[in-house]
Amino acid sequence: MTEKESEYAYKKKSAWEILTKTQIKKAFDFAEEYKTFLNDVKTEREAVQRINEMAKTSKKKIIMNRGKEAAIIVPGKKPVHEGLRIIISHIDSPRLDLKQVPLYEDSESNLALFETHYYGGIKKFQWVVIPLALHGVVVKKDGEKITFTLGENENEPVFSVPDLLPHLSHEVQDTKKINEAIKGESLDIMVGSRPVSGDFKEKIKTAILDKLHTDYGITEEDFISAELEAVPAHKARDLGFDKSLIGAYGQDDRACAFASLKAILDVKNPGHTALSLFVDKEEIGSEGSATAQVTTFLRSILKKLDPSVDVDSVMLKSKVISADVNGAVTPNYTDVFELKNASSLGNGIVMSKYTGHGGKYAANDASAEYVAEIRTMLNKAKIPWQTGELGKVDKGGGGTVAKYFSRLGMEVIDLGPAVMSMHSPFEVTSKADIYSSYLAYNAFLKT
Ligand code: MN
Ligand code: MN
């Protein structure tokens, strides 16, 4: 190995110094497209829709599952029985879901509110007092589906979780532990305040129901069969004087979803058949029918590609990138990171041999052989990369979908950009890392 090759990970060289001038220009252009994707796509359903449109435009083969999972396939020169090159990312992000019976009137505060149940691992204090938009679907009793987006355009109203003024929060919030100061049950969203005139018991709630019926034909019972998600209403923005960073909601894991989408759309005639898979419900443990734990979708794809293959032996020969983000070293909190092994913004795509927590529990631990293969691929293509481990050994940890695919006998490794303020309404990434991720995924899918 040459001295130059060893620089990429171990000297923690900045990706901005490794990428060429032309590549940096491309990284900034790529970021513009990425920000548009983040602004237009804030839910798993919207992601599948956009992925479908972009696949169709690029004349790529796409298979979808329940509007919440998608696979783009590019046939390889080698037969399917020699295995696939698969990248899997998730398209769900933490948020506030509406409960089944969400609407109520609080007569003391003169407000109508929606009850919520938070989705995924959030720090609750980050979700109060910010403008929220509502996205999702309402399915009426006759099966008619109403697709709902409100709060994204300047002229549309937004929604918000109220919080107590500091003058009165001493006893009920300030002296409590930060994770107990705001309760899940208090993450209710303000949705209106103007009563109807007339002789009604709950005049504000009645007015909201009237408005919903006029505008969308929705009745109160229709909320029972709905999936409405309150997400941050703000747009993706450049961050910093140098515009080197992106601040936006939902970068975990749409950074990887977008990079792997662009990577497979740019693949032509790969050696092995290339597959980019986009799944739902990672943030709540990959439980459900359109998730990484359900292998029937993948099995059906393999059978469609070649009905004669033995699906299990194809999986044994397949190689996978689990495309998910890692935690970026955070200023003022560097103590929780073991800095030699932690990932930082701007040092390229992060390769994690293993995830899990406390003694590698529930981790996919990639084989040394596979790590070597990926390392060589990245070095040969001069793609900036770094290693990453989520925090000090005893400080916490986290998992990805990697383990569900390694259970099928595939070689799997975690590879994705570092994210600052992960799971917050305003996650931060580096444009150099996002572009490095695209380059890495593209190089992998071409093999
Ligand atoms: Mn993730
Ligand atoms: Mn996550």
* CATH number of the domain to which 374 belongs: 3.40.630.10
Asked if 21 and 148 sit in the same domain, the reply is no
Give the number of the ligand closest to the Cα of residue 119: 2
Give distance in angstroms: CA of 62 to centre of ligand 1: 23
Q: Please list all protein residues whose beta carbon sits less than 5 angstroms from ligand 2, which is an ion.
A: 252
Asked if 279 and 398 sit in the same domain, the reply is yes
Give the number of the ligand closest to the Cα of residue 323: 1
Residue 262 lies in a domain: yes
Domain of 211 in residue numbering reads as: 96-232
Asked if 255 and 198 sit in the same domain, the reply is no
CATH of the domain at 183: 2.30.250.10
Give distance in angstroms: CA of 324 to centre of ligand 2: 8
- Token readout for 144 is 């008619």
Residue 237 lies in a domain: no
Give distance in angstroms: CA of 250 to centre of ligand 1: 9
pLDDT per residue, tens digit, the chain (447 aa), is 455 556 566 567 899 999 999 999 999 999 999 999 999 999 999 999 999 999 999 999 999 999 999 999 999 999 999 999 999 999 999 999 999 999 999 999 999 999 999 999 999 999 999 999 999 999 999 999 999 999 999 999 999 999 999 999 999 999 999 999 999 999 999 999 999 998 889 999 999 999 999 999 999 999 999 999 999 999 999 999 999 999 999 999 999 999 999 999 999 999 999 999 999 999 999 998 999 988 899 999 999 999 999 999 999 999 999 999 999 999 999 999 999 999 999 999 999 999 888 888 888 899 999 999 999 999 999 999 999 988 888 887 888 999 999 999 999 999 999 999 999 999 999 999 999 999 999 999 998
Asked if 37 and 132 sit in the same domain, the reply is no
> What pLDDT score was predicted for residue 5?
57
Asked if 179 and 279 sit in the same domain, the reply is no
Give distance in angstroms: CA of 389 to centre of ligand 2: 15
Asked if 108 and 89 sit in the same domain, the reply is no
Which of 201, 232, 263 corresponds to the end of one domain? Answer: 232
Residue 304 lies in a domain: yes
Asked if 304 and 395 sit in the same domain, the reply is yes
Give distance in angstroms: CA of 326 to centre of ligand 2: 9
Give distance in angstroms: CA of 218 to centre of ligand 2: 32
> What pLDDT score was predicted for residue 261?
98
Residue 242 lies in a domain: no
Task: Identify the CA nearest to 428 among candidates 342, 339, 341, 329.
Answer: 329
Quote the number of domains for the chain. Answer: 2
Asked if 131 and 222 sit in the same domain, the reply is yes
Give distance in angstroms: CA of 418 to centre of ligand 2: 12
pTM of the model: 0.96
Asked if 184 and 314 sit in the same domain, the reply is no
Residue 241 lies in a domain: no
Asked if 204 and 296 sit in the same domain, the reply is no
Give distance in angstroms: CA of 277 to centre of ligand 1: 14
Contact status, residue 74 vs residue 86, Cβ threshold 8 Å: no
Which of 232, 262, 279 corresponds to the end of one domain? Answer: 232
Contact status, residue 252 vs residue 158, Cβ threshold 8 Å: no
Give distance in angstroms: CA of 423 to centre of ligand 1: 9
Asked if 306 and 391 sit in the same domain, the reply is yes
Give distance in angstroms: CA of 323 to centre of ligand 2: 12
Which of 232, 267, 287 corresponds to the end of one domain? Answer: 232
Residue 312 lies in a domain: yes
Give the number of the ligand closest to the Cα of residue 400: 1
Contact status, residue 275 vs residue 71, Cβ threshold 8 Å: yes
Residue 369 lies in a domain: yes
Asked if 298 and 311 sit in the same domain, the reply is yes
Residue 37 lies in a domain: yes
Give distance in angstroms: CA of 352 to centre of ligand 1: 13
